[in-house]
Structure 1
Amino acid sequence: MNRVRKVLGPLVVLLGANLWLSKGANSKNTVRYYVNSPVCKMPYVNPFTWDTMSDFHRKKMRECRNDSDLVTSQFDFNTHQYRLHIHEHLARPLLKTKGHATLECEYSNISRNPSAKYPDDYYIQSKMHRITNHEVVPNNTDYIITKCYVRSSNHTRKIVQSDSMSFIQDPLTNKKVRDFERKQRTDPHPSVLIMGLDSTSRINLRRAMPLVYEYVKRPGWFEMQGYNKIGDNTFPNLMAVLTGHSEAGVEDLCDVREKGCLDSLPFIWKRFKEANYTTAFAEDCKSISTFNYLKPGFVKKPTDYYLRPLLLASEEQFPVSKDWGYAYCVGRHLSFRYVWDFGQQLVDRFLGRSPFFGFLWSNSFTHDYYEGATALDKLFRRYLKSFQDIGLFKRSIVILMSDHGHRYNTLRRAASGYFEERMPMMFIYVPPWFRRKYPQFVANLKKNRNRLTSNYDVHMTLHHLLQLPSKSMADFPAKYRAKQCPGCQSLFFEVPFNRTCAMAGIEEKWCCCQPSETITSPLVEPIVYAIVERMNHHLVERKFDTLCHNYTLKQIVKVDRKSILATGLKPVDKDEYVYIVQFKTRPNLPEFEATVRWNNRTNSLLGMDVDDISRLNSYNKDANCMNDKTAKKYCICKDSIRESKDSQENSG
């Protein structure tokens, strides 16, 4: 009996708490919203509902190694150079087993190959160089691969450890540092560090990373609870933040699949560089990195410090193990650690000595599995604490963000899945000196926590940090405005209370402002059949029908109808509505979601764009014949057809 109580006790408490939270969040008397205005009602979402917690499990982090570093680097603050140290004493137990054996360590330089056809995908490696203890690393060395060997008495060598290292070199002269320190006393400008975790909604952050969430509730942090994504996946959402362009807007300028296109775009780090900031960019998981997945990447190194060459070399030369879908351990280190150790070096070298702009992005834990974030919680909180210890939060603006929430499978199918996908986390930290110097900006930031905001506003905020005396958006030159959202603005200015998604550059498909109700009317069948017909026609239009199988409707999963608020944009036709339709098709049972306008009187589908359709389950096994990143989510390759029990029973 005692054993039964031990098992059932916590479950009863969880069920009771979940029931109370659900009722509390949905009771008519206690309705809560992230945004609550006449034109936008973005509902509060309880992270702990039964359909998200019933199969939720906290994961443990697996370590990548059980040995100690034989070679380490240390920055010498007197000479402003790195030194390499060999820790031979750690190898002594092994050396004793080999007789009169000795430890030998070598390194080779890793650098970007600017003469390659696609420089982002290649690196140059120098010949091996013998390491002497306390050796100074040359100032022109950014990355190295190390190898340590045991040389036995008969002169044979056996490798015992391989590793890699990055070096954020310090090119600053004493005069530059003194000039910066003098200017900071009279007209301080903040350094800026953007920290990103892929596919992390503000909802799942609370559920999966409670330690991190507690950290960002401290003074100085402001959560943009009305932050709504503007595009489907990582690329469009980060392009809006970093360039002010939508994906379609970029296509008007150049083809991102063509070499040189990305280099020509107005990335915000270019403006920071013009303002004498040191710039850095690091992202893990080379195969799916934002600007390289099905794209040629950058021709020129995009920032002063760029981690990709080291990741290319490390993933190619070291064993790579996968957890959560992508590279987890790369050699002796977590893929994640390469990025954040690089970020710590950046802060160590330049904080208080020169302004810097850093963009750190990680896919490895969170891209495919929402539970992966649970294993990252303690480690990421330790990194935040480490950044705190070296003084980052005393001087700098820090943005903790994501591109979108989870886009398919368990979380996406939950009742709150619509919001999980569309509401990424967005936290902005402002240091004490900024709060004192610009109290009105901070007051506006506080007001904007519960106003509708978008990626374009974050882009304008980054521009604002380079022209802090600006008192209104009229001070911003046209070339710095977000091109696809001319009305978007810095978050240090008050966002209009009555803001609509259209005003924030958010298309209706992604907009979380309109309440919806689930309907089961017979009217829904013609809508879904019309969507499937439109999808088949689209395959022919784009000449994908030779590769991709036609769709036939298998099941209508759910249909929601949006309420149209008093936005001034209400359709003239009273029979026109917006529907959110979830459905499955044959073959392979892909599950889709489409947001469409439908006229109930004329039975007509209005302006549906198939490229905007959402895929609610994974398409990894369905779309290997397709290299178009947008079409991958809806193409069912003819050579990937799987005969399932369900399809056999329902064929014919």
Structure 2
Amino acid sequence: MGIRSDQEIFDRVSWFKVPKDSLRLNVLMFGFDSLSHNMWKRLLPKTYKYAVKDLKGIALNGYNIVGDGTPQALIPILTGRTELELPDTRKRMGKGAKYVNVYPFIWNDYQQNGYVTGFAEDMIQINTFTYRLKGFLEQPVDHYMRTFYVEASPNFGSYKPFCYGGMSRFKLMLDFIRNMYEVYKDRPKFMFTFHNEYTHDSNDGAGNADEEVYQWLQEFHIKGYLNNTLLILMSDHGSRFADIRNTQQGKQEERLPAFIFLFPPWFEKKYPDAMSNFRTNAGRLSTPFDVYATLQDVLHYKGAGRGSIANRGISLFQEIPIERTCQHASVEPHWCSCLDWESVSPASPTVSGAIEHLIKFINSQTSEYRDLCHELKLNKVLWTARLLPNEYVLKFKKNYDYDGFLGDMTDSTQITMETYEVKVSFSPGNMIYEASIRYLKKEGRYSVSLSDISRINKYQHMTHCIEDWDILHHLRKYCHCR
């Protein structure tokens, strides 16, 4: 299976036809169905590490969905609008339904500005725009992989699960992308690809993709394909059908899919302010509308700066205001994963237990070196709070209607984990710490890690006894020398 070389397309696409105010990047979006940010890290660890650590990708830790299901996740990314804001394309509307071609897809903008376009999605029986929606009357892009899947899918049952002859069906999609880069090597490209089979019904198959995606990324890096490409690794939402969705953690993860942006090495040198904003935005609330605004900015770059909180979609090259809320970003309450802090009494048994656990944990870091470091004791509790999940998230059970527009708010999900934020001072030395401690209610135990603890006042002379020991430098945060 390969990409057909089309002279008419060759004649139409060229970097000379790309707008002068563009960032002059290919755009390649590669997505998995139903894979949360955390699940991506758990099940595709090799890929995640290579993308984020080695290739310096930027993961959006605050990326929040705006609706239920794949269409509600992808339509805003690809059009900048919700399904309800667009002409009705639902099959069940009969003759009143429009074909999905009526949507103002972002790939149309790229195609009209000198780019060759491609779209691939497997599992044709559940495709984003053909399962519940009417589908396309005309081929939506220059190269549309559905044509292959329609012909090949009836034969899939003849092979082992996930296989097509001697190769994985997943590799077919990777080859489609590779072929686009080989055939249109020196031409501007916009591609949107979305893989369902490994993850739609369960996340159990996701691990199968880790080595393949890792090797594919390595190949693209070595061949130089990423030198002029904005690569976006993504998902539509977290798992919606697994048992984890019935838990507090699962409901949060459903709303927080994976989104990783990888830029060419030269890009940060040329656009330092834009990349600085992008890194800041990785920790702020972002949505599909922002991704759409970013894709528009690639085509017509408007510069770095501070985004307006009044805009539903803010380009990630502009700084998203820190005060932005779900309401500002048009995220309905039951989809909002943002958490609230509630002040609690330090005398509360659970809070005092959390503080006691923190003291023991910090002292355990220096226990081997008690001849050098004091055992710390609680001096004063400065601040305590509990992190609360959004009540609407806990109440949301499922879609009330077939189209995913209305929510059934009758669920009563129990909180199984509480997170406490404490600010305390220890003696000797008035060492001040802020820490997040988790309380696992069913197990009745606390959990904290080194990354959950911040020392927020200066060490000064307190660590003199370990300064000359390289192997003990990691203890500077916790050691008060004798």
Shared fold, TM over 0.5: yes
Letter in 2 for 1:334: S
Question: Residue 408 of structure 1 aligns with which residue?
Answer: 241
Identity %: 30
Q: Structure 1 stretch 298-307 or stretch 381-390: which is displaced more?
A: 381-390
CA 1:170–1:215 in structure 2 vs 1: closer, same or farther (change >3 Å)?
farther
Which residue in 2 is equivalent to 1:221? Answer: 57
Provide the C-alpha distance between the structure 1 equivalents of 2:223 and 2:19, rounded to a whole number of angstroms. 18
**How far off is 1:389 after superposition?**
2.5
Task: Give 1:354 deviation, angstroms.
Answer: 1.2
Displacement of 1:186 in angstroms is 11
Cα distance change on mapping 1:562 and 1:492 into 2, 3 Å: same
Q: Quote the offset at 1:614 in angstroms.
A: 8.1
Q: How big is the shift at 1:338?
A: 1.9
Across the aligned residues of Structure 1 and Structure 2, the Cα RMSD in angstroms comes to: 3.4
User: 1:316: how far off?
Assistant: 2.3
Report the equivalent of 1:453.
286
Normalising by structure 1, what TM-score?
Answer: 0.51
Assess if the C-alpha contact under 8 Å between 1:195 and 1:399 holds in 2: yes
Residue 310 of structure 1 pairs with residue 145 of structure 2: no
1:110-509 map, 5 Å: 165-171=1-7, 180=15, 189-217=24-52, 218-250=54-86, 253-257=87-91, 260-317=98-155, 319-321=157-159, 323=161, 328-351=162-185, 353-471=186-304, 486-509=311-334
Distance 1:174 1:228 in 2: 38
Amino acid at match of 1:392: Y
- The answer to whether the 8 Å contact 2:234/2:258 transfers is yes
Which of 1 and 2 has greater Rg? Answer: 1
Query: Unaligned 5+ residue runs, structure 1?
Result: 1-164, 476-484, 518-560, 565-576, 583-591, 596-608, 617-652
Q: What is the Cα deviation at residue 168 of structure 1?
A: 3.7
Identify the residue that residue 408 of structure 2 maps to in structure 1: 613
Task: Confirm or deny: 8 A CA contact 2:29 2:193 kept in the other structure.
Answer: yes
Deviation of 1:356 (Å): 0.6
The answer to whether the 8 Å contact 1:488/1:503 transfers is no
**Secondary structure of the residue that 2:203 maps to in structure 1?**
coil
CA contact (8 A) 2:63 2:259 kept: yes
Q: Which runs of 5+ in 2 are unaligned?
A: 343-386, 412-482
The residue number in structure 2 matching 1:27 is none
Number of residues of Structure 1 aligned to a counterpart in Structure 2 = 359
Deviation at 1:337, TM superposition (A): 1.9
SS at match of 2:406: helix
Q: How does 1:56-67 map to 2 (within 5 A)?
A: none
Q: Deviations over 1:147-195 (max 9, x none)?
A: xxxxxxxxxxxxxxxxxx2324153799989x73798999860010001
Q: CA distance change for structure 1 residues 256 and 434 in 2, over 3 Å: closer, same or farther?
A: farther
Say which structure, 1 or 2, has more relative contact order (CA 8 Å, 6+ apart): 2
Decide whether aligned partners of structure 1 residues 175 and 313 sit closer, same or farther in structure 2, where only a CA change above 3 A counts.
Answer: closer
What SS does structure 1 have at the residue aligned with 2:394?
Answer: strand
* Matched AA of 2:203: Y
Instruction: Show the counterpart of 2:338.
Output: 513
Name the CA shift for 1:187/1:172 in 2 (closer, same or farther; >3 Å).
farther
Q: Tell me the alpha carbon deviations over residues 70-127 of structure 1, each in whole angstroms, 9 at most, x when there is no partner.
A: xxxxxxxxxxxxxxxxxxxxxxxxxxxxxxxxxxxxxxxxxxxxxxxxxxxxxxxxxx
Shift of 1:339: 1.5
Equivalent in the alignment of 1:626: none
| Contact 1:457–1:491, Cα closer than 8 Å, also in 2 | yes
Which amino acid in the other structure matches residue 178 of structure 2?
Q
Q: What's the secondary structure of 2:100's corresponding residue? A: helix
In structure 2, the partner of 1:481 is: none
C-alpha distance after superposition, 1:306-365 (max 9, x if no partner): 011111111124545574xxxx224554221221110110112223x1111001110010
Partner of 2:475: none
TM-score (norm 2): 0.67
1:579 CA displacement: 7.2
Once the 2 structures are TM-superposed, how far is the Cα of residue 415 of structure 1 from its aligned partner? 4.2
Distance 1:201 1:329, change over 3 A: same
Q: Answer whether contact 1:314 1:331 (CA < 8 A) is retained.
A: no
1:503-562 per-residue CA deviation (whole Å, 9 max, x = no partner) reads: 112111110113489xxxxxxxxxxxxxxxxxxxxxxxxxxxxxxxxxxxxxxxxxxx96
* Partner SS, residue 509 of structure 1: helix
- 8 Å contact 2:18–2:115 — kept in the other structure? no
Alignment-mate amino acid for residue 315 of structure 2: S
Deviations 1:239-265 (A, max 9, x none): 010011112223xx2233266431111
Q: Which amino acid aligns with 2:408?
A: I
Counterpart AA for 1:611: L
